[in-house]
Amino acid sequence: MSKGLTSRADDYSQWYNELVTKADLAEHSAVRGCMVIKPYGYSIWEKMQAALDKMFKDTGHSNAYFPLFIPKSFFSKEASHVEGFAKECAVVTHYRLKNDGNNNIVVDEDAKLEEELIVRPTSETIIWNTYRGWIESYRDLPLLINQWANVVRWEMRTRLFLRTAEFLWQEGHTAHATSQEAVEEAERMLEVYADFAQNWMAVPVVKGIKTPNERFAGALETYCIEAMMQDGKALQAGTSHFLGQNFAKAFDVKFTNKEGKLDHVWATSWGVSTRLMGALIMAHSDDAGLVLPPKLAPIQVVIVPIYKNAEEFKQIGDIADALIAELKAKGISVKYDDRDTQRPGFKFAEYELKGVPVRLAIGGRDLQNGTAEVARRDTKEKMSVSREGLADRLENLLDEIQQNIYNKALQYRDEHITAVDSYEDFKRVLDEKAGFVSAHWDGTAETEQRIKEETKATIRCIPLNNPKEDGACIVTGKPSAQRVLFARAY
């Protein structure tokens, strides 16, 4: 607490790492690549979960739970899927430890599994193997299921929330009678994700589709939302996949359609993860700490008493009690920090670091004047306000802050979409300004790969409803019918 954060300008990456740990969001665990999500960080994730879960249910989905382990052979059934996922994974090979006689705990070689189990990196295979038993006819469709779970992808270079070996996520897996319905579902869930990012996280996103190269392993189409961080790097915040009949064919899931004919089922999957925490932190926070949008802030208002004696402390406490009751009645989460072990200045810094949207200080002069000092975390403005009607004002202020945080992120994002028409400009913008670069591309994987190797920029997406525009690929000069969005990305 005493030492400030590294500034974003000095070292953005260091700033992020320090912020995540100092604001008590998460820390590295004793297990390589796995994080501990601390209570304050987890309470933000819980708010995200609650909002998303409601959105999923409002769109007709139910939750279920599938096994953590997937038999190795399942991965071989969908050819492109195994390439994408079965490589870097945690493999369970034994089911028992034993004492070796010298008081060492060792793996019991007698307890070797006949078939190794993979800790799920994603659950398409085990779920579609299960769906085979659940789907017989069109009456069983659509099947709209979501799972909240932990998954593991062995990562060599990890960063808290952004890339960890184990992470928490939700994965939707739906089954449909027609291709069109499945495509509509994939698009619907992309809209849900975009809605959540914008209206809860206050993070503007570009909705688009991935190039074949960047598609989910096993998908015919991958939809994504792409966000822009304050260092000009993009972050993929959520994906939704149209899987065609790939998994239904791999796991032999057929249904009888209305005409009485057998056909393979059509599929989607879609997911967001604790990676969203990284996006939330990086999109809004500043050199003093977290800036949280009120809708996801575990504490929306904190009240700090500033008193000279027990009498003042008591009077302020009474005012706080009444205000807390009013705020709680409005569904606003509020904390009264009456610790006598810390000075107000220490508390102010702590709540700044933790991104509490509104801080209220009540002191001796406020007692006389019937006022309170209101400080906004987003703009750092302070104002003395009357205590009359304060709860209503705070309610409005939280809405205003939510909107302002979004507007600020939107402005930054919009200022960081740069159209270029030459490879030189492309590289210059990436190095000097960063952000999204909108450029013509010839549509080939070769050119995409060359650009990635030479500049570390990838095609983030082909935006939905992208305007058509005749142009020439910035690298090969070949004709192109539309611009696509490039960026260096997390």
CB of 415 to a second copy, least distance (A): 36
Quote the tokens at residue 9: 């300008």
- Under the binding rule (CB under 8 A), the answer on residue 68 touching a second copy is yes
- Under the binding rule (CB under 8 A), the answer on residue 80 touching a second copy is no
CB of 130 to a second copy, least distance (A): 5
| Of 4, 7, 98, 318, the one binding a second copy by CB under 8 A | 98
Quote the tokens at residue 153: 């992808």
Nearest C-alpha neighbor of 223 from the set 187, 185, 255, 256:
187
DSSP state of 296: G
- Under the binding rule (CB under 8 A), the answer on residue 72 touching a second copy is yes
| Of 39, 212, 345, 370, the one binding a second copy by CB under 8 A | 39
- Under the binding rule (CB under 8 A), the answer on residue 471 touching a second copy is no
**Spatial separation of the C-alpha atoms in residues 130 and 277, rounded to whole Å:** 31
Cβ count within 10 A of residue 490: 20
Residues 351-410 that bind a second copy (CB under 8 A): none
In DSSP terms, 242 is beta-bridged to: 221, 268
Token pair 């009444």 is found at: 322
- Under the binding rule (CB under 8 A), the answer on residue 71 touching a second copy is yes
Nearest C-alpha neighbor of 120 from the set 99, 147, 142:
147
Bridge-based pairing state of the strands 266-273 and 166-176: antiparallel
Cβ count within 10 A of residue 464: 14
- Under the binding rule (CB under 8 A), the answer on residue 63 touching a second copy is yes
Cβ–Cβ under 8 Å, residues 212 and 445: yes
CA 306 vs. chain centroid, Å, equals 38
- Under the binding rule (CB under 8 A), the answer on residue 448 touching a second copy is no
**Residues 435, 438, 440, CA angle at the centre, nearest 5°?**
150
| Of 6, 59, 150, 198, the one binding a second copy by CB under 8 A | 150
- Under the binding rule (CB under 8 A), the answer on residue 256 touching a second copy is no
| Of 20, 48, 52, 89, the one binding a second copy by CB under 8 A | 89
CB of 132 to a second copy, least distance (A): 10
- Under the binding rule (CB under 8 A), the answer on residue 27 touching a second copy is yes
Q: Where are the alpha helices (DSSP H) in 150-238?
A: 179-199
Number of residues binding to a second copy, judged by CB under 8 A: 63
CB of 162 to a second copy, least distance (A): 16
Which helix (DSSP H) or strand (DSSP E) does residue 136 occupy? none
CB of 174 to a second copy, least distance (A): 12
Give whichever of 63 and 379 is closer to a second copy, judged by the CB atom. Answer: 63
Cβ–Cβ under 8 Å, residues 413 and 403: no
Residues 317-336 that bind a second copy (CB under 8 A): none
- Under the binding rule (CB under 8 A), the answer on residue 302 touching a second copy is no
The set of residues, in sequence order, having a beta carbon less than 8 Å from that of 132 and lying 6+ positions away, is 251, 252, 253
- Under the binding rule (CB under 8 A), the answer on residue 31 touching a second copy is yes
Bridge-based pairing state of the strands 26-28 and 436-440: unpaired
CB of 99 to a second copy, least distance (A): 8
Cβ–Cβ under 8 Å, residues 471 and 477: no
CB of 84 to a second copy, least distance (A): 12
- Under the binding rule (CB under 8 A), the answer on residue 36 touching a second copy is yes
| Of 10, 13, 87, 481, the one binding a second copy by CB under 8 A | 87
DSSP state of 261: -
User: Could you give the count of Cα atoms lying within 13 Å of 29 in the half-sphere of its Cβ?
Assistant: 13
CB of 60 to a second copy, least distance (A): 11
Cis upstream peptide for 479 (omega within 30°): no
- Under the binding rule (CB under 8 A), the answer on residue 252 touching a second copy is no
- Under the binding rule (CB under 8 A), the answer on residue 128 touching a second copy is no
| Of 66, 242, 406, 423, the one binding a second copy by CB under 8 A | 66
| Of 20, 168, 220, 303, the one binding a second copy by CB under 8 A | 168
**Spatial separation of the C-alpha atoms in residues 486 and 426, rounded to whole Å:** 9
Give whichever of 149 and 437 is closer to a second copy, judged by the CB atom. Answer: 149
Which parts of this chain interact with a second copy (CB under 8 A)? 27, 29-31, 34-39, 42-43, 45-46, 62-76, 82, 86-98, 104-105, 107, 116-119, 126, 129-130, 133, 139, 145, 149-150, 152, 154, 166, 168, 341
